[in-house]
Structure 1
Amino acid sequence: MRTWALFFAFLYLNIYGQRYTSEWYNTDNGLPQSSAKAIVKDKYGFIWISTDDGLVRYDGISFVTFNNFKINNLHFGEFIGDPLSDSITVLNNFQENKIIIKNKIPRLTQRYSHDKTLFSNRNSFVYRIATNTISSHFYNDVQYFIQLKKSSYHFGEKNIIIYKDGKGNETRINIPFSNKDLSNIFVYNETLFINNFKDRITYSICQGKLSVSEKPSLFNDPGTKIYWQQITNQTFIINHNNIYIVEYTENKPILKFLVQYNEIGNHSYYSMFYDKDFNKLYLGTLNNGFNILSLSNFYVARKETEFSNNVAYASLPFSKKTIITENGTEFGKNGIVQKYAFGNNDSYFMMYDSSENILIKKRNSVIRFFKNSGYKKKDSVLLKPGFENFMKSGNLFATSSSTTSGNHLYLSKKETFGTPDFTYTFNGFINTFFQYNRNEVLAGTSDGLYLLTLGKNTPAPVLKNTHIKSIIRTKDNLVWVMTNKDGFYLLRNRKMIKMPEDRNGYLQSAHYILEDQQGFYWVSSNNGLFKVPKKQLLQYAQDRKSPVFYYRYTKKDGFLTNEFNGSSQPNAHILENGEFVFPSMDGFVFFNPSDIKTYYPDRKKIYMERARIGNSGVVYFNNFLDLKNNYKTADIFIDLPYFSNLENLYIEAKISGKENSDWEQIPIGKDLKYTISNLSPGEYTLNVRILVSPDGEYEVKTVKFNIQPLFYQTLLFRVSFSITLLVIIIVIVQLATNFLRIKNKALKQIVHNKNSELKETYLNLEVVQNNLQKEAEYQKKLVETISHDITTPIRFISMLSQKLYESDDIELQKKYFDSIYKSSEQLYQFTLNLKEYTELYRTENIFEEKEYLVNRILESKKKLFYEIAKERGTSIITTAREHSYSKVNEGILSAIIHNILDNAVKNTFDGEIILHITSHKHTTIITISDTGTGMSLEQIAIYRNLFKNPKIETPSFRGKGLGLHMVIHLVKKIGAEINFKQNYPKGTVVEITLNKNQFL
């Protein structure tokens, strides 16, 4: 018993302080309702909250509400069960329904009688205690019991506690106790602890055996409130706004101080849970929502008086655990320790001399506070006008000044501010200097970094056009150069190696760098404090491509501001007790780097099993997702319990399959998800990788998904379509063949009928006999002309062939071949026209049954002669803007236009031919004009007379060509008119006038 008493007596010594940041959540930012009546963490790492409007799962990023159960009562109470066995249950009000949370999903399940927490026993009630909340109330007329795994405790009789083991054996313990004292109890495993606040006694009962501690402790302090929750096996002691958690050593309780939270009594707190993995304390209220306290091992020392300036710049280590500033304020991690009468001085420059006296700049003077006087006595040295700062590095001392002649750096091997040993002049303002080795010095200015060789007056530039802030040698003997807006550099072998930036670019303005004992660098910046593995930076310096992962600490981790400060002199320190100190825009930040954790996702607790397709609800899947062909977007959620700063999550994703993508960063927003869109049908794999350690290790998760094709994109459709198309083609060919056969029979019948009609019209032959005689005469003359035109080229070809045979001269043979070719071509063209024209002469149908578009003929002829004209440098232009229709025999009209256009093409070089149609009420005029050699007035007169001759008698064509004569004959045949005239300045215009009235 004395051992227990001594143990409880020393509980007060086992505490230490922590800061915190607070975040509230309610219906405005995630919760469905502002009550958080119970909090528990499942085996998968998710936080569950019981509310009066369903159950809520929290993963540190978003809240997922489950309230679509098929029940009417969504007012849920405390959690019971065992999270480690993946079995968390909760009942709603009046114990009507039971929900079980298993495999991260709550489901409605069957309720059994032993699930109840309230039972009726004859004329009284029996209530099971599974949680002892801050505001719990217990009554003497109600029987209570606590159910443990192997035993139970029963309360009801005054001064009697009944212990029942697993076999039902009872042990009665008699102590001063009533049911109202149940608010002072807590349980750990099989041990019940009871605190008597009145007599300051603590009882513990383990398997029916009683132990008593009569010494006062926080457990039995009248100002203590106890919160215990059986499912989490956690107990909290709240005493005068200080919150402790009960930990156990060999089943003996000890108190670990968590935080001093002065607002603990300002809200209706009802539930508590401490997550030691992320050092967070969760507090639930009955009506104000859900509060998360992020506990911090960062300490901010600042002046707490009103209107104090807490912008921290220059400082010096002062004791093993304190620093001192230029105004004489000594700070420890918990605030001001002592003040020295240093007065008001310049806040950027201070240092120790060799006697550990403190030197501080004040305008143009250097003030020295003597250590042997307890820094109470001082003297000063007045320097020349323009004096800016003083510095020390290695065994060199420096001052700088700015005058009209430039910026000067004075170096001396003595501490006195007398005549310098070396003087250097720069264009830029001098910020810092650093003794690189015995004979070389680095100078950092506002326009670059320079290497100075002692004894030589000319600085050698190392880095130009960069504002140098400070130069630092870490304890591993590496030299780092910090800049204003260009990041930070490693100086190795007199070469600058720029370190990679963080992904947000906050390290562009890096201030200071310190190295800890665990192999990490700590870098302060204008936006946060960064921690980075030393080996990653050095590996990058070696190959320029290795990835570097920065871990960023912000206000969420306990600072008062994200903006840190830097100066030309060392202003971040490693104290003798191992603590780091960085100055910020709101006080000095103290911390022990070994106490500061980095948080990464647990590689075993990363899940991809939820998706939202379009605007529908969330669906669950298992490693494979099947998407319909009409999907618009599909969000695949990445669920991972991560309760730290989300900016330190490195999550990337890519798609592989029918289409591939590169790794891309997944944005951290309200939800952590990857959106699938605009992918063609096929099978794909989504690969997601998450950084799970500071060493750059990734955990890769994959989800396979399939996008179903549309019906016309399937192979079956393509094969079926091909077969169907082939069958259709065969059917069409067969139908066309049958149609032609039927048409052929019909034509034969028409011919037969025509013969009969000819016999009947024989008597009318005398009427047309004259015309037939004229036609026969024309045919006769045509045969004569053809005979003449064919005989001459054939004779000429024969003659050339004979000469070719007799000649041995190669050049002459080529000439003969050329002549034969041209004569043959002329003869070939002649025979082509001959066949077409003779067919036209025999036709009797000079009108069509239906109108057709004349423009179509012009376009077809234009296409026919386009390439020939193009070779001659001639362009054919159609200027007809309106559609003109005709019933004149299309073949005859086509032959007329063909011959006229042919003549125009033959006689036009490097010119243009214009085809035009003008439609009037009674006529349609087709105009073909060219800019070629043109027809003489004599030729025009001949052809005009030939057309105007009222007799159909046609003179012999011999020697005058065939084309225009045939055209004139065909024009007459269709009852049209043709006119020839000269085109100015050169060329010919041919007009064909069609009479619309003749076929109305």
Structure 2
Amino acid sequence: MRVWAFIFACIYLNISGQHYTSTWHNIDNGLPQSSAKAIVKDKYGFIWISTENGLVRYDGSSFITFENFRVNNLHFGEFIGDPLLDSITVLNNFQENKIIIKNRFPRLASLTSGDKMTFSNGTDILYRIANNIITSDFHSDIQYFIQLKNSVYHFTEKNAIIYKEGKKEIKIALPFTNKDLNYIFVLNEHLFINDLKKRKTYSIYKGHLSVSDKPTLFNHPDTKIYWQQITNQTFIINHDNIYLLEGNEKDLRLKFLVNFEEIGNHSYCSMFYDKNFNKLYLGTLNNGLNVLQLSNFYVSKKEADFSNNVYFASLPFSQSTIIAEDGTEFGRNGIVNKHLFGSNDNYLMMYDNSGNILIRKRNSIIRFYKNSGYKKKDSIFVKKGLETFMKSGNLYGTTFTDLSGTQLYLHKKDMFAQPDFTYTFKSFVNVFFQYSDNEILTGNSDGLYSVMLGSNTITPLIKNIHVKSIIKTKDNLIWITTNKNGFYLFRNHKLIKMPNDCNNYLQSAHYILEDQKGYYWISSNNGMFKVPKKQLLHYAEDKKTPVFYYRFTKKDGFLTNEFNGSSEPNAYALENGDFVFPSMDGFVFFNPESVHSYYPERSKIYIERVKVGNAEPQYFHQLLELKNDYKTADVFIDIPYFSNLENLYIEAKISGKENTEWEKIAAGKELKYTISNLSPGEYTLSVRILISPDGKYEEKTIRFKIHPLFYQTLLFRVSASIIILIIIIIIVQLTTNFLRIKNKALKQIVHNKNSELKETSLHLEVVKNNLQKETEYQKKLVETISHDITTPIRFIAMLSQKLHESDDVELQKKYFDSIYKSSEQLYQFTLNLKEYTELYKAENIFEEKEYPINRILEIKNRLFCEIAKEKGTTITNLTEHIVYSQVNESILTAIIHNILDNAVKNTFEGNITLNITENPQKSTIIITDTGTGMSAEQIDIYMNLFRNPKQETPSFKGKGLGLHMVIHLVKKINAEMSFRQNQPKGTVVEITLNKN
């Protein structure tokens, strides 16, 4: 029984309050009537509001009113039922009708006795409690009851409560009156009753009572309780602080939501907290609906009248605070302390190496000493024209401006000493950054520059932009922000322009901070942006990669969308995890871990409504059918999204008979895609919605059909085409018959003449072809014979000359012998000249009987051996056995003759070998020499010539006559030929003959 020691153990958690922005909705901007009597969220994510003039569905952008029920009474009351079971029920006044909300649509349903809220029990009236609104009145002459899942609690008499479960009935005695119903709530079948006078809390479960006399917020005299059964939410309101009950019946915990001072200013009668979007909905009886966007952004500023809350310079001061140039120390909840810094310039602040704070005051620098608690200070006059002082790496920098330009002084130790480096620029120097030990970057009013220390080398990296800041994030990436030119990634001495947001607000980006989860937070002149770092880096590699920015605005808790920017670091990540950015109205504090970005849920995107022309919207399922006389059709995209609509990325396209590219759908009061000017046919509408910061889309498709007019149908077109075709055929047939009779005789004459001319033409063509072939054949024959006998005759001529010149009898005898053998072989060759006449006009490339290829090699060996011997070359036949072939012997003889001829011509003091290898399918003739050989380029030329699929007759004029002829003949007998270099020198020629 005594479970209270730990039930309320965590009830007074000291949780920091959230700021909020308030938005009112009433009859002027969406509601059909200025009452919001009950609020509930269905399983699909839509908010439903019960009003005195219909039911309203809210998706975060638009209100849809349902009032076209077949009832006369549209005054609706409390919601009952179970949203998780897709069953929400509401009755109208006097319990006349019942509406059930199911599958995102309300419809009229049959009313049963179990649905009623009020019953008559003889002379007594029983009233069901489904909630206890803040301003509710419970009368002593009415009996009330709470209906649970399987049981009922009856409040029927004073000082007693009756618990009923089936036939079981338990009477619980405790000091209780109907007025105490204002302070009850139910949690998981447990009934809690609070006695504010005695500061007690009673808990009843299944008829068993537990009592706690521990003072809590639940039984505080100034507490008001709002409980709604259908949402299972209980709110505690105490001194304008609104809490939400969390936990379970054994671990009651209160989550502080907001301090709302206006809670008592209006007749609030309904409450609902949407934890998914951190929003609190407050419904009133006569002022509409107030939506509080609870914010984790904290704006810290001076609250005094006429205070200037525009700060350009600040410094992190403690783990959770910053300090401004006037000495004001700010934390997330406001001013923490005020240090007496006096009046100084508000653009420059800096820590020196000792932790002292430096602030500029005209041409002097004021230094506040850390060891004095920043109470003691001194002033140092630097130089007339002092504009800025900065620090980067281990370098201090000061700039001085006059009419001639800007001088940048760099100091290694102390900015008040003699500068180590001095550089002059025509433009104003906003910031410098130490890139390496011997290089700095300067951001100027006209561009970005690279400066090499110790030299006068100043290299412009980009011109015509106004550089605002050079930022090195904790991942060691360098970013450049500009005024009206966006921001850049600086990598490998190159600037990579980052894409802008859809509204180009990032054209004036100020500063960048990186959080622990890899997101960049970027302040601008119009809002705060959050973007995944990896998307920017992917874009730097591939400009086609999309980048999705998430924008935070005043709706999320700022006082202004405009943030401040300066050349000095003006945004900080504090040690406690908070980020701080200066705005034009105070400093914005927030912890990036607690600020959420919201995206639509994958399963909660619906395309089911269409508005054709000016008609009322109607519902469809999967297939949308449009009549042929439609002008426009607005297809609505229903997404329960209760955050800034600018962060919705929705695109749509049409495919089918006509196609469109993806186009962005503008976020407004209604999310819709308009179909217009499409020809009849079947189409598919595809809609994709960004559902995560990683760039993941959810795509939905619907099919729609535009019906054609009767003359646009396929049947009409086919019928019309057939009729027109028949008419044309009839006209053509009649005309043809008339002309056929008239021209019949003339056609016969022309036919006869054509036949005679065709015969004459064919005869002349045959004669012409025969003459052309004969001429070509004779030409090739002469060229071939001339080529083949050139080498032997030249050799005989050479030996005859040597015989004439020699007086040595033995040598003369040797020459005579060579001349005789060569002449004999030449004679034998000329005896076979008849065979050459068959080389080119032979159609049969195979012999009837097989013959030995060895015979050809031996004959050619004898023909060229004396010629080769004269050059100191030996010809060796390595064939070990007889190989037969049926390839035309004359053609093969001519091929081997030319290849051996080329080998003898190009081999000196070397060897030429002849060989034949075979397998069941092929025989290969291999001729290898050790001569000068063919170059790789020559081999490629002849092999490409061989691979040419067109068997053109080669020209045998000029260089390469023999090989051109050989290639032609090898192709003629369907053989394969290859050349390769012999090692260490010479050429190997292989001719592969197919046996089949």
* TM-score, with length taken from structure 2: 0.73
What pairs with 1:495-894 in structure 2 (closer than 5 Å)?
Answer: 495-725=494-724
Query: What is the distance in 1 between the residues matched to 2:120 and 2:540?
Result: 74
Please state how far the C-alpha of 1:62 moved relative to its aligned partner: 0.3
Task: Write the distance in 2 (CA, Å) between the matches of 1:477 and 1:147.
Answer: 62
Per mean C-alpha deviation after superposition, the further-off stretch among 593-602 and 713-722 is 713-722
Tell me the residue number matched to 1:215: 214
**How many Å apart are 1:577 and its aligned residue?**
0.3
| 2:433 corresponds to 1:426 | no
Contact 2:11 2:252 in 1 (8 A): no
Deviations 1:921-957 (A, max 9, x none): xxxxxxxxxxxxxxxxxxxxxxxxxxxxxxxxxxxxx
Kept in 2, the 8 Å contact 1:408–1:426? The answer is yes
Question: Is the partner of 1:719 in helix, strand or coil?
Answer: helix
Q: Which residue of 1 aligns with 2:26?
A: 26
| Residue identity opposite 2:436 in structure 1 | N
Which residue of the partner structure matches residue 407 of structure 1?
406
Which residue identity is paired with 1:49?
I
1: distance between equivalents of 2:301 and 2:510?
A: 20
Distance 1:670 1:403 in 2: 54
Q: Cα deviation per residue 1:479-502 (whole Å; 9 max; x = unaligned)?
A: 111111111111111111111111
Shift of residue 719, structure 1, vs aligned partner: 2.4
Distance in structure 2 (CA, Å) of the matches to 1:602 and 1:405:
60
The residue number in structure 1 matching 2:913 is none
* C-alpha displacement of 1:463: 1.3
2:369 — aligned with what? 370
Answer yes or no: is 1:38 the counterpart of 2:45: no
Counterpart in the other structure of 1:304: 303
Checking the alignment, whether the CA contact within 8 Å between 1:140 and 1:156 is kept in structure 2 is no
Q: Who is 2:285 aligned against?
A: 286
* Deviations, residues 95-117 of structure 1 (Å, cap 9, x unaligned): 00000000000000100011000
Question: How many angstroms does 1:465 deviate by?
Answer: 1.0
Match for 1:143: what amino acid?
Q
Per-residue CA deviation, residues 215-266 of structure 1 (Å, 9 max, x unaligned), is 1111011111111100000000111111111011464321000001111111
Task: After TM superposition, give the deviation of residue 8 of structure 1 in Å.
Answer: 2.8
Q: Matched residues in 2 for 1:447 and 1:581: separation? A: 29
The 8 Å contact of residues 433 and 443 in structure 1, kept in 2 or not, is answered as yes
Distance in 1 between the 2:724 and 2:495 partners?
Answer: 71
Give the aligned partner of residue 162 of structure 1: 162
Partner residue, 2:449: 450
1:21 and 1:558 in contact (8 A); partners too: yes
Letter matched to residue 530 of structure 1: F
> Structure 1 counterpart of 2:577, which letter?
G
Which ranges in structure 2 are unaligned for 5 or more consecutive residues?
737-996
Compute the displacement of 1:7 (Å). 4.5
Contact 1:688/1:701 (8 A) holds in 2: yes
Task: Give 1:324's aligned residue.
Answer: 323
Distance 2:734 2:634 in 1: 54
Q: Give the secondary structure class of the aligned counterpart of 1:540.
A: helix
Q: How does 1:96-245 map to 2 (within 5 A)?
A: 96-165=96-165, 167-245=166-244
Q: Distance in 1 between matches of 2:250 and 2:621?
A: 42
What are the superposed Cα offsets for residues 625-662 of structure 1, whole Å, 9 maximum, x if unpaired?
01111111111100010000000000000010010010
SS at match of 1:659: coil
Is 2:28 the partner of 1:57? no
Per-residue displacement from partner, 1:767-813 (whole Å, max 9, x unpaired)? xxxxxxxxxxxxxxxxxxxxxxxxxxxxxxxxxxxxxxxxxxxxxxx
Q: Which residue identity is paired with 1:509?
A: S
- Distance, in Å, in 1 between the alignment partners of 2:135 and 2:396 is 66
State the AA in 1 paired with 2:235.
F
Unaligned runs of 5+ in 1: 738-1000
Q: Distance in 2 between matches of 1:6 and 1:729?
A: 99
1:343 aligns with 2:342: yes
1:204 offset after TM fit, Å? Answer: 1.0
Distance change in 2, residues 1:362/1:3 (3 Å):
farther
- Find the counterpart in structure 2 of residue 246 from structure 1: 245
- Equivalence map 1:907-926=2 (5 Å): none
CA-CA distance at 1:669 after TM superposition? 1.7
SS in 1 for 2:604: coil
Q: Which residue of 2 aligns with 1:847?
A: none
Q: Which one-letter code corresponds to 1:463 in the other structure?
A: I
Shift of 1:728: 6.4
**RMSD (Å) for aligned C-alpha atoms:** 1.6
TM-aligned CA deviation for residue 732 of structure 1: 9.3
User: How far is the alpha carbon of 1:15 from its aligned partner?
Assistant: 2.8
Q: Percent identity?
A: 71
Q: Distance in 2 between matches of 1:495 and 1:251?
A: 62
On the 8 A contact 2:514/2:521 being kept in 1, the answer is: yes
Between the aligned partners of 2:443 and 2:531, the Cα distance in structure 1 is 25
8 Å CA contact 1:5–1:214 kept in 2: the answer is no
In 1, Cα distance between the equivalents of 2:299 and 2:305? 17
Deviation at 1:527, TM superposition (A): 0.4
Residues 245-254 or 563-572, more deviating: 245-254
Q: Contact conserved, 1:77 with 1:90, CA < 8 A, in 2?
A: yes
TM-score of the pair, normalised by structure 1: 0.72
Is the 1:441–1:452 Cα contact (8 Å) retained in structure 2?
Answer: yes
Residue 490 to residue 736, structure 1, CA distance change in 2 (3 Å): closer
Alignment of 1:922-937 (within 5 A): none
Contact preservation (8 Å) 1:271, 1:284? yes
2:739 maps to: none
Task: Please say which of residues 694-703 and 11-20 is displaced more in the overlay.
Answer: 11-20
Partner Cα distance (2:500, 2:547) in 1: 9
Q: Is the 8 A contact 2:687 2:699 kept in 1?
A: yes
Counterpart-to-counterpart distance in 2, 1:676 and 1:99: 33
Alpha-carbon separation, structure 1, partners of 2:619 and 2:199: 55
Provide the rounded CA distance (Å) in 2 between the counterparts of 1:650 and 1:498. 22
Is the 1:193–1:202 contact (alpha carbons within 8 Å) kept by the matching residues of 2? Answer: yes
Residues 479 and 490 in structure 2, CA contact (< 8 A), matched pair in contact too: yes
Measured after TM superposition, the shift of residue 405 of structure 1 is 2.8
Query: Structure 2: how far apart are the matches of 1:276 and 1:338?
Result: 35
C-alpha displacement of 1:403: 1.4
**Map of 1:807 onto structure 2:** none
Q: In structure 2, how many angstroms separate the alpha carbons of the residues matched to 1:667 and 1:406?
A: 47
d(CA) in 2 for partners of 1:172 and 1:414?
Answer: 86
2:163 maps to amino acid: Y
SS state of the match for residue 12, structure 1?
A: coil
Paired with 1:598 and 1:378, the residues of 2 have a C-alpha distance of 45
Question: Within 2, Cα distance between the matches of 1:2 and 1:588?
Answer: 49
Give the residue type in structure 2 aligned to 1:160. Answer: A
In 2, the alpha carbon distance for the partners of 1:631 and 1:233 equals 47
Cα distance, 1:265–1:736 mapped onto 2, change above 3 Å: same
What CA distance in whole angstroms lies between the structure 1 residues aligned with 2:458 and 2:673?
54
Question: Offset at 1:157?
Answer: 1.1
Amino acid of the residue matched to residue 31 of structure 2? L
SS in structure 2 at match of 1:330: strand
Contact 1:281–1:293 under 8 Å retained in 2: yes
Query: How many correspondences in the alignment?
Result: 736
Q: Is the 8 A contact 2:645 2:668 kept in 1?
A: no
Kept in 1, the 8 Å contact 2:188–2:249? The answer is no
1:488 correspondence with 2:487: yes
Q: Retained in 1: the 8 A contact 2:7–2:252?
A: no
Offset at 1:733? Answer: 11
Separation in 2 of the partners of 1:389 and 1:645? 39
SS in 1 for 2:30: coil
**Secondary structure, counterpart of 2:243 in structure 1:** strand
Distance in 2 separating the partners of 1:55 and 1:700: 30
| Structure 2 CA distance for partners of 1:736 and 1:434, relative to 1, 3 Å | closer
> How big is each residue's C-alpha offset from its partner over 1:20-58, in whole Å with a ceiling of 9 and x where there is no partner?
000001111101110100000000000000001100000
Deviation at 1:13, TM superposition (A): 2.5
- Tell me how far apart the structure 2 counterparts of residues 735 and 590 of structure 1 sit (CA, whole Å): 94
Q: 1:140 to 1:399 in 2, by over 3 A?
A: same
